[in-house]
Amino acid sequence: MNTWFSEIVKDTNERILSDQELERIMIYYGGMPARLRASEEVEQLEGELAGTLFGELKKKFPKRTLYGRRLVQDVLESLRTMAQAMLADEPKLFRLRWMNHMGRVVEELDLDPSEIQDIYALIQEKAAAKLSAHSRELMQPYFDELAESLTPAAVSPALSR
């Protein structure tokens, strides 16, 4: 798939990058060190989450059978795609590589979207405590979009994205 950046590069075949394109790239580069730090922080958080998330979900929602280790692992892997999209400053990447897939699974398995939403809420709670303020700010739009796509009314529209 293409990101805004790779689309610029493809558009410049047989011509030099324009000032406008260079300006956009340079602004992105300026914010890149913070994105790299945020990605590192999320990576460190994943290590901690892997050990605690399963137990905490069981304790918090004892009646939900969905919360197995495998699901938790899948959700943690989605964090990697979220971090990748944040690094690329490309929400489309997260939508195409994770959210659309998740939307289909929720619908096909007839799951209650709130059960997935609650996992991400717990991850966000942990992230709020562990990530620096700037890293939280960079990750927030992706968490928000994900939460929004899992509200019951939004599950079907999310599939058409």
Partner 1 sequence: MISRTLLRMENRYLTGKERSDLQGYLTTARTRRSALDEARRTSVQIADNVITNMRRRYPQFAQHRPQGFDKGHRDLVLLTHMTANAMFLGETDTIDDMFTHWYKSILKGVHLTPQFMNDTFTLWLEGMEKTFTETTYDLMRPVAEHMASMLSDLPASGKDEIGERRAAV
Contact 91, 85 (CB under 8 A): yes
The CA distance from 48 to 71, in Å, is 16
**Binding of partner 1 at residue 43 (CB under 8 A)?**
yes
12 binding partner 1? (CB under 8 A): yes
Name the segment binding partner 1 (CB under 8 A); options: 27-35, 59-67, 104-112, 151-159: 27-35
34 binds partner 1 (CB under 8 A): no
135 binds partner 1 (CB under 8 A): no
Instruction: In the chain, count H helices and then E strands.
Output: 8, 0
Asked if 1 interacts with partner 1 (CB under 8 A), we say: yes
Buried b (16+ CB within 10 A) or exposed e, 74-107: bbbebbebbbbbbbbbbbebbbebbbbebbeebe
* Positions that interact with partner 1 (CB under 8 A): 1, 3, 5-6, 9-10, 12-17, 22, 26, 29, 32-33, 36, 39-40, 42-43, 77, 80-81, 83-84, 87-88
